[in-house]
Chains A and B, each alone.
Chain A
């Protein structure tokens, strides 16, 4: 009986925890939702196997390190934004970056043009190429899940 009760308690905790996470996650505004939808359409066109974007994949991408071919230094999203997107980061020349997660900085991921702009610049900075639609979608999924 005790064990059964404990089991129910654990299940309740999982449900509550799940609810808490979905509450904490950021709800995108209309233009951002439209932008994410267009990314999903493009991602599916590139790979029909893509069903949805993955926060887990986004987290892996965010922390993935790569050596820049010309600068010969390790680069990653987390290199400047830190591995905790809820905290402030720093550019290589010391400029402070406000947190990139909308949970800590509600200005983030509200302007689709701005998001696309920074993907363009920073994907070149880290990967020396543009990011794919899947990479962008996963990235947004991760940062809005926190």
Chain B
């Protein structure tokens, strides 16, 4: 079969014309279909968005764990230092803290046996193992199987602060790396989320 140039050109022109006609038609139909779907499932889509927001909030919440209130723990421990969330240490560490309370970093806490027992019961309920947050889980997995004596010597805590210069911790209003509340204003409420960090300038 012999095809001459003219009919080839004609065919090309016709197909281009057909395409240019069909494209707007296709896209219009698509739009209409989308609109129809939107109209039908409008409520669902909004709900989907709401779920996304809630999910994001929940992910953040995982860096938060409400502080388990205890008047005894507050009185015995946070009269002298920052009110550390009990989820910041594994149970085995808290047991060691109580066992060595007569030489607590060189200080004798003069804890009576009854108070030691009550504090231990509190730690059984609220140590890192019992705390539902991302930070508590990481504290546990990163420190196993050692028995960290200090919250601030745990690998996960050190890693999380690796980008902060040592001199920052020496600022008068911060004083030391163990003064969590200086930069984590909601730390005493168990909120260590990055968004809530405020590093004082002095």
Same complex origin of A and B: yes
- Chain A positions near chain B (C-beta within 8 angstroms): 70-71, 91, 93-95, 97, 117, 120-121, 124-125
Contacts of A124 in B (CB 8 A): 107-108, 110
Top 10 A-B pairs, shortest CB-CB distance: A94-B175, A120-B110, A124-B108, A121-B110, A93-B81, A91-B80, A94-B179, A95-B81, A71-B106, A124-B110
Partner of B176, one of A71, A94, A121: A94
Complex: how many Å from CA A95 to CA B74? 13
Contacts of A93 in B (CB 8 A): 80-82, 175-176, 178-179
Contacts of B178 in A (CB 8 A): 93
Give the Cβ gap from A123 to chain B, nearest Cβ, in Å.
9
Q: Name the interface residues of B82-107: CB closer than 8 Å to any CB of A.
A: 82, 106-107
Contacts of A120 in B (CB 8 A): 110
Show 8 A/B contacts (Cβ-Cβ < 8 Å), sorted by A. Answer: A91-B80, A93-B81, A93-B176, A94-B175, A94-B176, A95-B80, A124-B108, A124-B110
A120: nearest residue on chain B (CB-CB)?
B110
Partner of B106, one of A70, A94, A117, A121: A70
Number of interface residues of B (CB under 8 A): 16
A97: nearest residue on chain B (CB-CB)?
B79
**Interface assignment of B59: CB less than 8 Å from any CB of chain A:** no
Give the Cβ gap from B104 to chain A, nearest Cβ, in Å.
10
**Interface assignment of B78: CB less than 8 Å from any CB of chain A:** yes
Total number of residue pairs linking A and B with CB closer than 8 Å? 32
A124: nearest residue on chain B (CB-CB)?
B108
Please state if A95 and B79 are interface contacts (CB–CB under 8 Å). yes
Complex: how many Å from CA A117 to CA B112? 9
Complex: how many Å from CA A94 to CA B180? 11
- If the complex has contacts A93-B175, A93-B179, A94-B175, are A121 and B82 also in contact, measured as CB distance less than 8 A? no
Please state if B81 and A91 are interface contacts (CB–CB under 8 Å). yes
Contacts of B36 in A (CB 8 A): none
Most buried by B among A70, A93, A94, A97: A94
**Interface assignment of B13: CB less than 8 Å from any CB of chain A:** no
Complex: how many Å from CA A121 to CA B175? 23
Contacts of B174 in A (CB 8 A): 94
Complex: how many Å from CA A120 to CA B81? 18
Contacts of B79 in A (CB 8 A): 95, 97
Contacts of A97 in B (CB 8 A): 79
Give the Cβ gap from B157 to chain A, nearest Cβ, in Å.
16
Contacts of B80 in A (CB 8 A): 91, 93, 95
- If the complex has contacts A93-B176, A93-B178, are A121 and B108 also in contact, measured as CB distance less than 8 A? yes
Give the Cβ gap from A143 to chain B, nearest Cβ, in Å.
17
Give the Cβ gap from B180 to chain A, nearest Cβ, in Å.
11
Contacts of A94 in B (CB 8 A): 174-176, 179, 182
A80: nearest residue on chain B (CB-CB)?
B80
Partner of B108, one of A95, A117, A125: A125
Complex: how many Å from CA A113 to CA B121? 22
Give the Cβ gap from A82 to chain B, nearest Cβ, in Å.
16
Give the Cβ gap from A96 to chain B, nearest Cβ, in Å.
10
Please state if B109 and A121 are interface contacts (CB–CB under 8 Å). yes
